[in-house]
Amino acid sequence: MGSSARKSLMIVLAVVSFAGPALAVEPLKLEEQLPKLIAAIKPKPEESKWLSIPWETSLWTARQKATAEGKPILLWEMDGNPLGCT
């Protein structure tokens, strides 16, 4: 281990050790914690129905697809892409 890598790891360990008792949240330590945590954080099926819609993210591509398929375009335009921002 290089000295800078060792220093970095020591900082991580120091922060993790230091952080424990003062925080409402226990520091992450074990990979076994992750699957349940990930499931708790990611969108639930009932929050994700709109994601079953095959959204395009280029208006021009949508135009090309619409004329090829003979369909109208449905544009959801927000300040922040609905698929990417909050």
Alpha carbons 78 and 71: distance in angstroms, whole number: 22
Size of the site for another protein (CB under 8 A): 69
By the rule CB under 8 A, 36 interacts with another protein: yes
In three-state form (DSSP H/G/I as H, E/B as E, the rest C), the secondary structure along 7-50 is: HHHHHHHHHHHHHHHHCCCCCCCCHHHHHHHHHHHCCCHHHCHH
77 binds another protein, rule: CB under 8 A = yes
CB of 18 to another protein, least distance (A): 9
Told to check if 3 binds another protein by CB under 8 A, we report no
Beta-carbon count within 10 A of 43 CB: 10
Told to check if 45 binds another protein by CB under 8 A, we report no
Q: Which residues bind another protein (CB under 8 A)?
A: 1-2, 4-6, 8-9, 11-12, 15-16, 19, 23-25, 27-31, 33-34, 36-38, 40-44, 47, 49-86
